[in-house]
Amino acid sequence: MNALPAMPPAEDETLSQAEAAYRQLRDKLIMLDIRPGDPINDGQLAAELGFGRTPVREAIKRLEVDHLVVSYPRRGTFATTVDFTELADVSEIRELLEPLAARRAAKRANAAMREELLDVAKAISELAPTPAQSRELMRYDLTVHRLIYRAAANPHLEDTLIRYDNLATRIWCLVLDKVPSVSGHIGEHVDLLRAVAEGDADKAGELALHHVTSFEETIRKVL
């Protein structure tokens, strides 16, 4: 089986060790490389990721705020369980903020960002994934959302949406084996990215809302 081509990173600035450790651990938790309920050992993770224990500990503190890890006195730190009852709450927030981000991005993205959005749209449109590559496809989903959030040029909105998109993606990854296909979900990004790149704010907002609502509907069908 051929691997899908890697998406360009959506967060490409120079990072401190603590920030790099945070982002790597965050994505491992989102993509379930670290499973819900797994213990979080800072020494083991530091060795695995190639960081010192201090930046890893700082990363873990931030991940607690993101509700991706939880610490218990005298028991240790663990990856949080996935609570499907939170789906409605997460979706309610995303249905309001995802269209806002898409509209802002359509209006505010600079020329280089618009070109990057079109490049990603082209890459996704040319994919021919197999069902076994569903998890790899979800990395495209993360990249697309983070690109749009960055293009929206509001760091507070970006931080908020990244947090809730992370929680939504984690739910999706947990039910991947029950969902017939995620290629359609990923394919929806092509028109969304093009609308943002072309500056069509109204269309971008409508497509972003549809994407979020269809996500919730798909998940509810398999729960």
- Treating both helix axes as pointing N-terminal to C-terminal, what angle do 87-108 and 134-151 enclose, rounded to 10 degrees? 50
CA distance 96 to 2: 38
What pLDDT sits at residue 155? 96
Sequence-ordered list of residues with C-beta below 8 angstroms from that of 62, at least 6 positions apart, any chain: 22
The number of residues in the chain equals: 223
Tell me what pLDDT residue 3 has. Answer: 57
The pLDDT assigned to 132 comes to: 67
Helical packing angle, 53-65 and 17-30, nearest 10°:
50
| Neighbouring residues of 222: CB distance < 8 A, sequence distance ≥ 6 | 175, 178, 179
Average pLDDT of adjacent 10-residue blocks, the chain of 223 residues: 58 78 95 95 94 95 95 94 91 97 98 95 85 80 94 96 94 86 86 98 97 91 84
> Which pTM does this prediction carry?
0.88
Contacts of 44 (CB under 8 A, 6+ apart): none
In sequence order, which residues have a C-beta less than 8 Å from that of residue 118 and are 6 or more positions away?
Answer: 193, 194, 197
CA pair distance 156, 22, nearest whole angstrom: 18
How far is residue 189 CA from its own chain's centroid?
Answer: 13
pLDDT at 185: 83
- Confidence (pLDDT) at 10: 64
Q: What is the pLDDT, as a whole number, of residue 177?
A: 83
List CB contacts of 136: < 8 A, sequence separation 6 or more: 3, 4, 129
